[in-house]
Structure 1
Amino acid sequence: MFGMLSMGSSCSFLYINSVLLFTLRSKQVFCETSRYILLYNMLFADTVHMASNLLLYFLASLRIKITYYACGALVLLSVFTITISPLSLAVMSLERYVAVCYPLRHATIFNMRSTGMAIALVWGFSFIHILIRGFMLLYLFTKLSLKQMGDFCSKEAVFFAPMFNDFEEAYASTLFLSIGVVIIASYIGVALVARSVSTDKASARKALQTLLLHLIQLSLILISTFISTILMAIARTVGRLVLMRIYNVCFVCLNILPRCLSALIYGLRDQTIRAIFMQNLCCHLRCSVFLNKNQ
């Protein structure tokens, strides 16, 4: 029952993300505005991460065992997309900071070229991270790559060596601390500018709310990064059945939900997206609750 609820809610979140991805490619304005281009990039990475995690969860639920090589490829895909989301949050926070604090220079700083370069840097940094992990796996899986796994495929089953834990702690701590500083600094900068008489109060207030949601989203992603350590500590005090239920709840709340927050933050709060997003979400049926407000 817990498995079905987890799978059902996860598939619903995956559907919401997929609809917003389609929405962001349905209008020319979304393809030419830096804010929506950055959103599409993060949403694409989140959707791939959700799909790979759902596949791993499905294989584990059906007790399907695969080779170390195939499991390593699936886990690396999942880990690869983990890094993209927090880095994208940092770039999107800077974009909101520039939009509020330097509105006249926003179009110059965040043009199509600079936005593309920022996205390329995000993916390049994530690729270097996953390349290091890939070489570490190749070193360990030289003799195991074609053998069947004794347990179901998971991140913990692949990254079992102590060096992975040390690398994960050092990397995640540095990454999330740096991104947290960027988001907090952007929030403080927007908050200070919001006190100015000449500032658009509504725009500044909305930017502050967005930055605060980004910080919450970053915190959830950080917790999900260390979920293995948390579950190992819980496993010492509870039975296997209770542990599996806790894992199902953590899977949805910490692995899946943070990846859907971007769709909820922008899909429902952004006036430009909301009407089209709700139409697509309801398969073009009239959603009077949301659409009547915009008419």
Structure 2
Amino acid sequence: MSNNSSLVGGKVILLHYREIIIVVQVLFVIFLCINSLLIMTFFKKECFYTTTRYILFAVTLLSDSLMLVMSDILLILAEFGFPMQVWMCVIISVVVFVYNIVTPVTLTAMTLERYVAICMPLRHAELCSTRSTMHCILIIHGLSSVPCIVILSTFFASASFSLYKQPMICAIKIFMLYRWQDHVISAVQEFYFLIMVIIILFSYVKIMKVAKAASGEDKKSSWKGLRTVILHGFQLLLCLIQLWTPFIESTLLRFDLMLFAHVRLSNFILFGLTPKCLSPLIYGLRDETFSQALKNFFGLYKRNI
């Protein structure tokens, strides 16, 4: 009788778990559609792709969309136990590692842009030109590639050639062959986020001083910039937590497979999907120019229908 009860209970848990997977897929499609709509709106007006903050906003949208797709594919493969050869996982992981860092580094660049716009308005046009923004994007991707190079370098130095053809579930834990690799990667990530937190706090303090001293329209603009920096800080916090989730999941995997699966799914919802919906909120809905362009895009789309 007890065996039958546990079997029924297991089936109920599995059914409930699969229902959550379906809900996650619905959320994934919604967020991806919103990001796609915002990206299309970005290319509709010249002022967007010639203005630094909107260009960086588009970079975060593209980065988040790519990460959503890759993360969801890896989640489904892991949840249903589909292995792949390690060399394939390495290729996929290069994209995941790089673009997992691109978003927080871009958020930091967007915070600096707000700092320059509010605290150094006379130099804003010079420092935040379209050409400078293109250089900034290259620097963002260069800086974001460093943790990936560190992770893969330690893996290539430690792995045997036979390992690359072994089928495994693609996850960050397969790159951690030794404990010291965890420490190296953690140190690099902590250093990055320490620098980014310092930049955001510095910008916050400087903009706060300007906001208190300003008056009229300048005061309103300064406080709006301050709220934007706060939202960027919150996004950065979620990104920081997301970077630590693979280490938590790999620890749980050694003890309880079902707990690992549930925690992995929860992490994907809280720290994978949630930060991705904040970028559209900050620059898609709060920004009057972008919001108006979005309404015009919808109106044009309806007329065409």
> 1:15 is matched with which residue?
33
Change (3 A) 1:197 1:211: closer
Q: Of residues 153, 174, 196 in structure 2, which corresponds to 1:157?
A: 174
* CA distance, structure 2, for counterparts of residue 57 and residue 162 of structure 1: 24
1:144 aligns with 2:167: no
* CA distance, structure 2, for counterparts of residue 19 and residue 164 of structure 1: 40
1:253 aligns with 2:261: no
Change (3 A) 1:280 1:144: farther
> 2:293 is matched with which residue?
276
SS of residue paired to 2:167: coil
> 1:43 is matched with which residue?
61
Q: What's the Cα RMSD here? A: 2.3
RCO comparison, higher one (Cα < 8 Å, 6+): 1
Change (3 A) 1:81 1:267: same
Indicate conservation of the 8 Å contact 1:10/1:252, yes or no. no
SS of residue paired to 1:257: helix
> 1:85 is matched with which residue?
103
CA deviation map 1:195-225 (0-9, x unaligned): 1245711111110110000000000000011
**CA displacement at 1:136 relative to structure 2:** 2.7
- Report the AA paired with residue 132 of structure 1: V
> 1:291 is matched with which residue?
none
- Report the AA paired with residue 202 of structure 1: K
**CA displacement at 1:143 relative to structure 2:** 1.8
TM-score (norm 1): 0.87
**CA displacement at 1:40 relative to structure 2:** 1.3
> 2:196 is matched with which residue?
179
SS of residue paired to 2:213: coil
- Report the AA paired with residue 265 of structure 1: I
TM-score (norm 2): 0.85
Identity among equivalent positions (%) equals 29
- Report the AA paired with residue 215 of structure 1: G
1:1-295 equivalences under 5 Å are 1-139=19-157, 140-149=159-168, 152-198=169-215, 200-231=218-249, 240-277=257-294, 284-285=301-302
* CA distance, structure 1, for counterparts of residue 71 and residue 254 of structure 2: 25
- Report the AA paired with residue 102 of structure 1: M
Indicate conservation of the 8 Å contact 1:46/1:260, yes or no. no
* CA distance, structure 1, for counterparts of residue 47 and residue 32 of structure 2: 24
Indicate conservation of the 8 Å contact 2:50/2:130, yes or no. yes
CA deviation map 1:117-171 (0-9, x unaligned): 111111112223323333333331522112222xx22222333432331122101
Q: Kindly tell me the number of residue pairs found equivalent between the two proteins.
A: 283
CA deviation map 1:155-199 (0-9, x unaligned): 223334323311221011110011001011101100000112457
* CA distance, structure 2, for counterparts of residue 182 and residue 253 of structure 1: 25
- Report the AA paired with residue 169 of structure 1: S
Structure 1 residues without counterparts, runs of 5 or longer: 287-295
**Larger deviation, residues 183-192 vs 119-128:** 119-128
**CA displacement at 1:26 relative to structure 2:** 1.6
SS of residue paired to 1:195: helix
Change (3 A) 1:283 1:174: farther
> 1:293 is matched with which residue?
none
* CA distance, structure 1, for counterparts of residue 293 and residue 111 of structure 2: 24
Change (3 A) 1:195 1:47: same
* CA distance, structure 2, for counterparts of residue 283 and residue 226 of structure 1: 43
- Report the AA paired with residue 129 of structure 2: N
Change (3 A) 1:282 1:220: farther
**CA displacement at 1:281 relative to structure 2:** 7.2
SS of residue paired to 2:121: coil
- Report the AA paired with residue 106 of structure 2: S
- Report the AA paired with residue 145 of structure 1: Y
Indicate conservation of the 8 Å contact 2:52/2:128, yes or no. yes
Indicate conservation of the 8 Å contact 1:187/1:211, yes or no. yes
